[in-house]
Amino acid sequence: MKKIGIALLVLVAIVGGATFWLSGNMDGIVKDAIEKYGSEMTQASVRVASVEIKPADGRGVIRGLTIGNPAGFKTPHAMKVAEIEVAIDLASIAKDVVTIRKIGIAAPDVIYEKGDATTNFDAIQKNIAAYTGPAEKKESGGKKLIVEQLSVTDAKAQASAAFMDGKTVSVGLPDIHLKDIGKAKGGVTPGELGQEIAKALKQKLSAAISFDNLLKSAGQGLEKAGDAIKGLFK
C-alpha cells in the first residue's frame, strides 16, 4: 500500500461509522468501534467525544476525534478534529458503488513531528499499512466509494522536531476542496480514497512546513531563533 497518511484515519472513522450505521446499531457502538479499531490500526490512542447518527436522512456527525502519537514521539497528539460531517446517498447503499454526497472535516489540528529517524505521520502510515495491507487485497471485490464533495476547513498545523522537546511552532493551512473522487473510474476503495485525502493534505503541509529550516534553528536555541523561527514557513 502506498502512503496513506493521517487523513486515512479520518476515513477509517467515517467508513467504520458508516458500517455500523448501516447495520442499524446505535451511536455508542459506532464510537466504540472507531476507538477500538482506530487504536489497533495506528498503534496510537484514538478517542472520540461523541457520535450522532441520523439514519433517516443519511447523515452522521463524529465529534472530537483525537488521534495520539505512536511510542517515541513527544507531542500530545498527531491530529484532532473538532467535527466530521458525513452525508450518504441512501439510494446507493445497496449498490456496488456507494455515493457519499459530502465529507466535511472541520477544524483539524495536525501536529507534524520529526523524530530522530522518522515523522509521526510516517510511523502511523507504517502501522496502518501493516494492519490493513492484507485486508485491502481481500476486500478488493467489495463495495467502492464515490465522494461528490470533500472539504477540510479551518485547518491548522504545528511543527515539532526532536530538539524542541515537545514544543511546537504553529502555522495556518489553506482549506482543501475535492470533488467527484473516484467518479472517473467507477469508484475507489477506502484505501484509495485515503490516498487522495492524504495527497491533498500532505501537499498543504509540505508547502507550509520546512523541517530543514526548523532543524537549522536548533543550534541557536528557540529563545534565540528570532527571525529564523518567523521564516520557517513559506
pLDDT band (50, 70, 90) for residue 159: confident
Is pLDDT at 180 greater than 60 in this prediction?
Answer: yes
Torsion angle of the four alpha carbons 69, 71, 74, 77, in this order, in degrees rounded to the nearest 10: 10
Is pLDDT at 225 greater than 70 in this prediction?
Answer: no
Question: Contact 48/37 with Cβ under 8 angstroms?
Answer: no
Which amino acid is located at 129 in the chain? A
What mean pLDDT is predicted for residues 170-189?
88
**5's grid cell:** 497518511
Question: Contact 60/17 with Cβ under 8 angstroms?
Answer: yes
Supply the DSSP symbol for 53.
E
CA distance 81 to 106: 7
What mean pLDDT is predicted for residues 223-231?
45
Is pLDDT at 7 greater than 60 in this prediction?
Answer: no
Is pLDDT at 219 greater than 60 in this prediction?
Answer: no
**93's grid cell:** 447503499
What mean pLDDT is predicted for residues 145-169?
86
Which residues in 36-50 are b (16+ Cβ under 10 Å) and which e?
ebbeebbbbebbbee
What is the per-residue pLDDT for 42? 85
CA distance 168 to 110: 11
pLDDT tens for 108-153 read 998 888 888 888 888 887 887 777 665 445 445 567 899 999 998 9
CA distance 67 to 25: 24
Mean pLDDT of the chain: 76
Residue 228: how many CB atoms within 10 A of its CB? Answer: 15
pLDDT tens for 11-60 read 555 555 554 444 455 577 778 888 888 888 889 999 999 988 787 788 88
What is the per-residue pLDDT for 172? 74
